[in-house]
Amino acid sequence: MHDREDKPLNVQKGEYELLRILKLLKDTSYPMTAKEIAREVAGRDDEVTLRRIRRKLNLLEREGFVKSVGKSPKKWYYCAVILVSDDVYKRHVKYVIAGLAIIAGSLIRDSLLETLPEPEREETESLINCGTALRDELKLCASSHLEHGYPETFTLYNKREKAVDRYCSIKKDFQKAVSDALKQRFKYAVFVESTSSIKPDPESRVYYVYSDRVVSICQEALSDYRRDLEYLSVDRPKKMRFYSEGDEWGFVKTERGIIVGIGDTRLLHDFHRFSKDVYYYLKSYGPEARRWFKRLVEYSIRLRDELLKIIHEIRQGILRGICHICLPAVKSKKTRS
């Protein structure tokens, strides 16, 4: 019944099935598996039918009418269409480029935006700075185009994201380690935030530690160590050196003058001991942080170069892949080669 339905005159069965496959994929806005196509076109998905459908899909792909993505299972989509009008294409291109800029990340985004003419750059920045919902939508749209139209760049993007996640995870683990060490070392002190304004009071004999400042200094030390393996001097990080201000009771500061606590020599000596704790954690987490950050930078540079090429192509009228809000769009002769 599927093969007879609306069949044009003087068209062989095999040719008609080929036309139905093409029309099905053209009218569908998402990739389909061979099994899904077989069910729609032939009404069955037995092995003989699947082999026949796959042969025709391979023929259509070879001629540039459809494109396959994935492996298990492989999916197919129509890729020989041009969007209904230049206006629709131009509007969609703005969204894709903004999404690619979001995907690029803060490390390389500016180098992408500066290649755009000023009016386009301002419009793209405006889209990027819209609410979270639109940013997520643009990112989803652009990543879908990368996945289905630029698989190698999409793989590179995923590698960069893995490096970002791993690096952030190491920083988080390091922060937890130094925070726990801080609490253990200064059990007798009151922990306060940098927003608190407290003056030394010898009569109160209350020790204070600015925990957020100390953790921030430790994170800076990790960043410095990540850039320079010679950062550690003897057994104490350069930024983790302290002195007390006052005769008996006063501020404890870093060499840069940052107040980290209030107390006497007991607090100062414990800060010296704490700096050795930080030294240990820098030696533990620093090399891995350095390694993953190096990968992050390398992947980002390669991703930037690929995204620049893609954006240049898009602005010339060539857009590969699909997303959930557009038809597959390819304005390139490459799709027919």
Instruction: List the chain domain ranges.
Output: 13-78, 86-157+303-323, 163-295
Task: Read off the pLDDT of each residue in 96-110 and give the average, rounded to a whole number.
Answer: 90
Residues 6+ apart with CB under 8 A from 39: 45
Contact 102, 142 (CB under 8 A): yes
- Of 11-15, 239-243, 316-320, the one with minimum mean pLDDT is 11-15
Q: Would you say residue 9 has pLDDT above 60?
A: no
Contact 42, 81 (CB under 8 A): no
What is d(CA 268, CA 292) in angstroms, rounded to the nearest whole number? 35
pLDDT in tens, 33-92: 999 999 999 899 999 999 999 999 988 888 767 878 777 788 887 765 444 356 667 788
Tell me the CATH number for domain 13-78. 1.10.10.10
pLDDT given for residue 332 in this prediction:
34
Which residue has 């992408």 as its token pair?
A: 112
Share of the chain above pLDDT 90, in %: 43
Structural tokens at position 290? 């350095």
- Of 157-161, 183-187, 226-230, 333-337, the one with minimum mean pLDDT is 333-337
pLDDT in tens, 180-227: 999 999 999 999 998 888 888 888 889 999 999 999 999 998 988 877
pLDDT given for residue 2 in this prediction:
45
Sorting pLDDT into bands at 50, 70 and 90, what band is 142?
Answer: very high
- Of 58-62, 171-175, 176-180, 277-281, the one with minimum mean pLDDT is 58-62
What is d(CA 320, CA 101) in angstroms, rounded to the nearest whole number? 17
pLDDT given for residue 8 in this prediction:
44
- Whether a cis peptide bond, with omega within 30° of 0, leads into 73 is yes
What is d(CA 138, CA 127) in angstroms, rounded to the nearest whole number? 9
- 47 Ramachandran zone, left/alpha/beta (phi>0; psi -120 to 50): alpha
Average pLDDT over the chain, rounded to whole?
Answer: 83
pTM: 0.68
Q: Return the closest-CA partner of residue 109 out of 307, 299, 318.
A: 307
- Of 14-18, 118-122, 254-258, the one with minimum mean pLDDT is 14-18
Sorting pLDDT into bands at 50, 70 and 90, what band is 334?
Answer: very low
What is d(CA 68, CA 77) in angstroms, rounded to the nearest whole number? 7
For residue 81, the SS3 value is coil
The 8-class DSSP code of residue 8 comes to: P
